[in-house]
Each structure stands twice: as structure tokens, then as C-alpha cells.
Amino acid sequence: MVTGRNENLSGRIRLGMVGGGNDAFIGGVHRIAARLDDKFELVAGALSSTPEKAQASGEALGLARIYDDFKQMAIREARLKSGIEAVSIVTPNHVHYAAAREFLKRGIHVICDKPLTSTLSDAKKLVKAAESSDALFILTHNYTGYPMVRQAQEMVANGDIGTIRVLQVEYPQDWLTEQQDFKQAEWRTDPERSGAGGSTGDIGTHAYNLACFVTGLEAESLAADLQAFVPGRPVDDNAHVMLRFKGGARGMLWCSQVAPGNENALRLRVYGDKGGLEWAQEDPNYLWFTPYGEPKRLITRNGAGAGDAANRISRVPPGHPEGYLEGFANIYSEAAEAIQAHRNGKTPDASVVYPTIQDGLSGVKFVGACVQSAARNSAWVKLD
């Protein structure tokens, strides 16, 4: 009945973590994601930029090896016989490049949170670092780990909606409607640490990545209107973006952190000349499919109508909802399959899919283009 994700059947991958100390939200998410399918074992960490906190956080998690900083960790783990094989980087954006570089150059696989980096310059350097390393680089654009997102991708690829004409993607939230002081909000609205984009970097990149992932389209150019509605906020908290894709499709992207009533409302709609697809992250087990001229159909995770790409990464039967953590875990489990193949000098199966450093570079370019277009009164700006 359930033919999808399996638990670990061979040795677990030894994992380290950079960032993700006590009060960091996303670190905990990465740890659960790594643990869910039992394919990783977290053994080492440099969990904070302050040594005391790094120590305390590492102890609280019962880590075998605790480090003061990521460089020290990279150096020492690389020397150990049973040192970490992979590292999760979950720091604020501006640290991604420096941290990732240290591990890549020592052949340790990197699983990095998005956006790739806070500047385009860092992103390009990181791409080079990855290219000259034998290690794998996985970017956690986690929303591509939802089974019904894979289902949508598969259906587009199969031609089920024909040639794509229109793409609407949006990612509204409301948590920054007012000025916030707590840590999650603070670094995300500081251009030094998060990059020039605010909502564009934090969530716009997810929306952009999702749209490209599902459709297989490449954006050609964009025209953006960015705002910072909350007084004193140095980065955008709302962005309206028009998109032109290679081949002629057109789209719109809206991301906002000031839209009351929206918690995490990432939503994608794609329309072709033969049909349409609609998916919403907050109700992720459903995919709406309308073959043009026929009634709308509700495809459910692991249910009737779901295909191989989605079923492969499902765990429980239809009607038993999987959520955000399961989707995130799918990125980790894809990474695990790729790393296990790498251990054996093999290429992973073609069904193994995860966001790459190129996706990360695209995201950073997207943010840059948004900022540039906005500065030029929404002129069209080329991507790439």
C-alpha cells in the first residue's frame, strides 16, 4: 500500500551542523528533517557564533563533538576517520558562503539553507567552490520536497496541461505587519545579514524557485515594484513582480510579509493551453488539476491520480496528511540517496531530485534583479 519513502536500510550518514543553536527556528527544522527517515546521524556541531552558546546548544542536543566555530569544525572533522560526511548550514544568509567554502574544500557535502548567499558576488564564488569540489551541494528549497509539487512537475513534464502560458505564484505572510524585535525578524530585515532583498530574499526566492521547478521554465526578465511599508524598515516587505519566461510564458509573483490573514500562504497556479494546475502550501496534500473542458479534479497525495514521482516520496496512506516537516525531510532523504550513491562512486537514480547550487545562484540573481528593477522604476531587467 505504501510504496514511498523507506527508512534507512544501510548505514546512516554522519552529519554536522553550523548554526541552529537554542533559539533558532530553522535549525530545529533541519534536525527533524534529517532524522525523520533515519538516514542521518547528527554527531557534530558549531551551533552558534558565540562559543558559550555553541557549547551549551551542543550539549543540550547531546552532540558527540562540539566546536566553537565552523572553520575549526571543518578542519578537525576532515581529519577524523569517522568525521562528518555532510554538514547542514543554517546560519543567517551572510555566513553561508564562508562556511560552505570550508567544508566543500575538504570534500564534505553541504546541505545549505536558502537563499544561497546574501550577495551575488558571494554566490558566484560559492558556485566556483562547489564546482571545484567533489562534494555535493544541496540547497534546502524545501517546498520542492512536497509530494504534490513533484506531482505537478511530473504532470507538466508529461504535457498534461500543454504549453504553459500563464504562471501565478504568490507567497504572502503577515508576521512583519508591525515592527518586530525578536531574533527571527531581526536578521531577516537587516540587509547586512540577509542581503539587499527583504521579502524577496526570504520568501520570494522560494516562490521563484517553486515556479521554475514545477514548470521547467527559465525566466528571461522581470519588472518589479518593491515596498517597505513598515516605517524604518531598510528592506522590502512587499514585492510585486511581473515575469517573462523564455518561450513566451508570462507570470506574476507576489510576496509580502505585511498581508494580515496570511500565515505562510505560498501558492502556485500554472495554466497551459490544455489545462491548469493549482497548489497551495498550507494544504499541501491536494493538487487541483483541470483538463480544459472537463471538471476540476482533486489529486491527493498517495491517492487516486497520484503518480510515481509523488508516491516515491510519500510515507503514509492518502487522507493521513503529511506536512512541512515531511516535505523538508524529503530534501534530506534525496540528499541521503545522492550521498550514499557518492559513497559508492555511483550516480544516484534519476528519480532523486534536489535543489542545487545553480538554483541558489538563480535565486540570488532573482533578488538582485528585483532590487535593480525597482530602482529603475520597474524597468524590465534580464535574468542571467
Cα dist. 224→8, 348, 369, 379, 383 in Å? 45, 39, 8, 7, 12
Residue 278 touches its own copies, criterion: CB under 8 A: yes
Give 78 or 325: the residue with its C-beta nearer to its own copies: 325
Cα(192)–Cα(92) distance, integer angstroms: 10
**Segment near its own copies (CB under 8 A); pick from 98-106, 205-213, 225-233, 330-338:** 225-233
Question: Restricting to residues 27-86, which ones interact with its own copies according to CB under 8 A?
Answer: 28-29, 31-32, 35-38, 60-62
The helix/strand/coil state of 241 is strand
Residue 284 touches its own copies, criterion: CB under 8 A: yes
Give 48 or 300: the residue with its C-beta nearer to its own copies: 300
CB of 240 to its own copies, least distance (A): 5
Question: Restricting to residues 311-370, which ones interact with its own copies according to CB under 8 A?
Answer: 315-326
Residue 317: is the preceding peptide bond cis (ω within 30°)?
Answer: no
Question: Restricting to residues 257-276, which ones interact with its own copies according to CB under 8 A?
Answer: 258-265, 269, 271-276
Question: Restricting to residues 123-142, which ones interact with its own copies according to CB under 8 A?
Answer: none
Q: Which three cell numbers stand for residue 226?
A: 518593491
Give 172 or 195: the residue with its C-beta nearer to its own copies: 172
Give 22 or 50: the residue with its C-beta nearer to its own copies: 22
Give 117 or 194: the residue with its C-beta nearer to its own copies: 194
Decide: 53 and 22 in contact? Cβ < 8 Å: yes
Question: Restricting to residues 181-200, which ones interact with its own copies according to CB under 8 A?
Answer: 182, 184
**Torsion-angle region of residue 161: left (phi > 0), alpha (psi -120 to 50) or beta?**
alpha
Determine how many CB atoms are found less than 10 A away from the CB of residue 201: 29
CB of 62 to its own copies, least distance (A): 7
Residue 236 touches its own copies, criterion: CB under 8 A: no
Q: Which three cell numbers stand for residue 372?
A: 535593480
Cα dist. 211→16, 123, 169, 254 in Å? 31, 21, 7, 12
Residue 174 touches its own copies, criterion: CB under 8 A: yes
Question: Could you give the dihedral angle defined by the CA atoms of residues 79, 83, 87 and 91, in that order, rounded to the nearest 10 degrees?
Answer: -70
